[in-house]
């Protein structure tokens, strides 16, 4: 039996105005369980592409399409009528964590269950004992069980990002999209977050697409690198094929941003 791709992107184009072409006819297929590094300098289109995969951004053009596990999520700029249910398959974490600082960590993680709950329960914020146990187990999986009742605002940046990963676990996501998840973290926290996501990819078969600014990190953690430049796909292949010489050829002066040591990026 043929297994449907985890993500299929066809003719993805997106313009924000006449002068800004964020994506230009991107075609990409990602198989279940792949760990893909999305690489590119600032303004290359990485964030727009990730947001399109989960339906936070609508693509342009009659032929544009994004499918998740064989089901169209959006086509020709229109979202699927089943978009709410389809988003359960996809967790997304951002550079700025998107936690509610005044809420405790457990409550933040429980919000990952809201798309699967009846509307009346999601509005009232009522969670069962089993759901709370599930959230604690997710926090334990990311090393944060001891912080469950602590306000999210008191956590370090790395801990908040790990809490965001726990929220995706509770959601039941089969795909994890990470948009520059470590760019605001110190090197040690960045390593821990990348180690965690890589472990989930390997141990649970979660499909991981992570947008990165640093080629060394992409080479270390990813099986495949997809590189964008000016909204166009300019490389798709194994990390070892994207050596420094080829990177400089693709990006010119902007390649220095991608080759910078992670410790320098954090200073």
Task: Label residue 205 left, alpha or beta by phi (over 0 means left) and psi (-120 to 50 means alpha).
Answer: left
Looking at domain 32-58+80-265, its CATH class is: alpha beta
Please tell me the predicted confidence (pLDDT) of residue 118. Answer: 57
Tally the C-alpha atoms within 13 A of residue 258's C-alpha that lie toward its C-beta: 31
Please tell me the predicted confidence (pLDDT) of residue 18. Answer: 72
Q: Judge contact between 12 and 59, C-beta under 8 A.
A: yes
The domain segmentation of the chain, as residue ranges, is 32-58+80-265
Please tell me the predicted confidence (pLDDT) of residue 267. Answer: 41
- Cβ contacts of 159 within 8 Å, gap of 6 or more: 144, 147
Q: Hey, what are 123's tokens?
A: 């509005």
- Counting beta carbons within 10 angstroms of the beta carbon of residue 245, is it exposed (0 to 12), middle (13 to 18) or buried (19 or more)? exposed
Q: Hey, what are 225's tokens?
A: 């690198």
Q: Judge contact between 97 and 161, C-beta under 8 A.
A: yes
pTM equals 0.88
As a whole number of angstroms, the distance between CA 177 and CA 51 comes to 9
As a whole number of angstroms, the distance between CA 22 and CA 49 comes to 9
What does each of the 267 residues of the chain score in pLDDT, given as a tens digit?
678 999 999 999 999 877 778 999 999 999 999 999 999 988 899 999 999 999 999 999 889 999 999 999 999 999 999 988 888 889 999 887 788 889 999 999 998 887 666 555 555 667 889 999 999 999 999 999 999 999 999 999 999 999 999 999 998 889 999 999 988 888 899 999 999 999 999 999 999 999 998 899 999 999 999 999 999 999 999 999 999 899 998 888 788 878 776 554 444
């Amino acid at each position: 039996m043929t297994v449907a791709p985890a993500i299929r992107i066809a003719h993805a184009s997106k313009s924000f105005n006449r002068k800004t072409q964020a994506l230009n006819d991107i075609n990409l297929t990602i198989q279940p369980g792949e760990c893909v590094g999305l690489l590119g300098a600032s303004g290359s289109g990485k964030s727009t592409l990730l947001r399109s995969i989960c339906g936070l951004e609508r693509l342009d053009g009659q032929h544009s399409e994004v499918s998740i596990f064989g089901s169209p999520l959006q086509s020709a700029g229109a979202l699927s009528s089943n978009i709410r249910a389809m988003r359960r398959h996809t967790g997304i974490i951002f550079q700025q964590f998107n936690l509610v600082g005044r809420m405790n960590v457990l409550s933040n993680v429980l919000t990952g269950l809201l798309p699967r709950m009846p509307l009346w329960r999601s509005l009232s914020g009522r969670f069962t004992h089993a759901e709370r146990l599930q959230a604690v187990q997710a926090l334990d999986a990311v090393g944060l069980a001891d912080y469950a009742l602590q306000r999210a605002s008191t956590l370090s940046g790395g801990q908040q990002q790990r809490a965001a990963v726990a929220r995706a676990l509770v959601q039941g996501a089969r795909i994890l999209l990470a948009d520059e998840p470590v760019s605001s973290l110190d090197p040690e926290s960045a390593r821990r977050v990348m180690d965690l996501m890589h472990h989930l990819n390997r141990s649970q078969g979660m499909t991981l697409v992570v947008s990165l600014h640093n080629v060394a990190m992409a080479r270390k953690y990813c099986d495949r690198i997809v590189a964008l430049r000016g909204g166009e796909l300019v490389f798709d292949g194994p990390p070892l094929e994207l050596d420094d010489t080829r990177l400089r050829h693709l990006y010119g002066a902007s390649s220095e941003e991608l080759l910078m040591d992670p410790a320098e990026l954090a200073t």
